[in-house]
Amino acid sequence: MKNYLLGCDWGTSSFRLRLINSQDQQLVDEITSPEGVASTFTAWKKQGESVGMSRERFFRQQLRKQIERLADVVGKRLKGIPIVISGMASSSIGMDEVPYATLPFPTDGSLASVKRLDSQTEFPHEILLIGGVCSEHDVMRGEETQLIGLLSLLDTKYYPVQDTIILFPGTHSKHIYIQDGQLIDFQTFMTGEVFNLMSQHSILKDSVEAPRSIAFSKNELDAFKVGIHEDNATSILNTLFRVRTNQLFNKFSKRENALYLSGLLIGNELKSLVDKKNWHLIVCSGTNLYELYKLGMQELHLSERSTTISADLLDKATVAGQLKIMQSQLIFVSK
């Protein structure tokens, strides 16, 4: 199938494979799986390494199974279609480790770190593995591809991006600084992971009841606002214990207390942006955390210099980024 591409977003705990028309960037179909890089690496350690199978070959076998699934979905043979893979597949626990690109990093994808893996008889697909980006103190894999795609889509809409901080809320939230068409710095906040650890595995676990939806009551949102404004200038480690005392003193219900905890953590993350008054903020909404981030930004008076990216546009960003990196590297273009 000419003019088609398989775009794979292989994260730590998730897998997504798309068949893309590379001429117009239109999605033909896709499949998803919870078989992320971490579980695949663990399976290789147990089933492959012991019998002398290389990590790359094991990952190729798992990827072939997913390609066959997608072929069944679309009703077409996908043999020979090249694959572009972003995310953790290029990490030390992935298919093959690709070095990080360094800062400053052009957002057109021209200096993306990539590795090409040739097709094989048992795996008739050329592979382009996209590496991540590192700073002196931080790393990311996957977000840089999404960023490249997002900015290319915004450019097509005549959207100016200058002196901008782009927020990707999530388990490990990213704040990405863009200036003069380059990624000049970024920061990772373990906001979501700390919430999960505190609410499930700490002394606080019996003081909270994690919400199962984003339909929050007024009291729950009020508790979230209290958390946002809580003074944690001394230490977030001290402030976190107030979740425990809230329950002991019957200040909040367990669901309200979970929103309070969320407010503490999201507030601690967002307060780092308050003094960056000359920077425009772009918040990416492709997460169920968006409503809480939106409320947190309103409470901290960040909304007046922020813009929201629709979930639909963000969903297209990874595909656009994969295609842009592929084209900038002049790989597979002649095929």
What is the reported pLDDT for 155?
A: 65
Contact assessment for residue 191 and residue 262, using Cβ atoms and an 8 Å cutoff: no
Contact assessment for residue 30 and residue 319, using Cβ atoms and an 8 Å cutoff: no
Place of tokens 């906001």: 191
Q: What is the pLDDT of residues 303-315, one digit of tens each?
A: 999 988 888 888 8
Report d(CA 208, CA 289) in Å as an integer. Answer: 18
Report d(CA 6, CA 83) in Å as an integer. Answer: 5
Per-residue pLDDT averaged across 67-93, rounded?
Answer: 96
123 DSSP assignment: B
Contact assessment for residue 331 and residue 114, using Cβ atoms and an 8 Å cutoff: yes
Q: What is the pLDDT of residues 165-203, one digit of tens each?
A: 999 998 899 999 999 989 999 999 999 999 999 999 999
Within 10 Å of residue 141's Cβ, how many Cβ atoms? 25
Helices 254-270 and 191-201 meet at what angle, rounded to 10?
Answer: 150
Report d(CA 275, CA 260) in Å as an integer. Answer: 24
Q: Hey, what domains does the chain have and what are their CATH numbers?
A: 4-141 (3.30.420.300), 189-311 (3.30.420.310)
In DSSP notation, 257-308 reads: HHHHHHHHHHHHHHGGGTT-TTSEEEEE--STTHHHHHHHHHHTT-GGGEEE
Residue 187 exposure: Cα atoms within 13 Å on the Cβ side: 10
User: For residue 235, what are the contacts with CB-CB under 8 A and spacing of at least 6?
Assistant: none
- Band (pLDDT 50/70/90 cuts) for residue 210 is confident
Instruction: Report the DSSP pairing between strands 139-140 and 133-134.
Output: antiparallel
Report d(CA 208, CA 296) in Å as an integer. Answer: 20
What is the reported pLDDT for 111?
A: 94
What is the reported pLDDT for 1?
A: 65
What is the reported pLDDT for 334?
A: 37
Bridge partners of residue 26, in order along the sequence: 21
Per-residue pLDDT averaged across 23-50, rounded?
Answer: 94
Q: What is the 3-state secondary structure (H, E, C) of 168-226?
A: ECCCCEEEEEEECCEEEEEEEECHHHHHHHHHHHCHHHHHCCCCCCCCCCHHHHHHHHH
Would you call 244 exposed, middle or buried from its count of C-beta atoms within 10 A (0-12, 13-18, 19+)?
Answer: middle
Tokens standing for residue 149: 């795609």
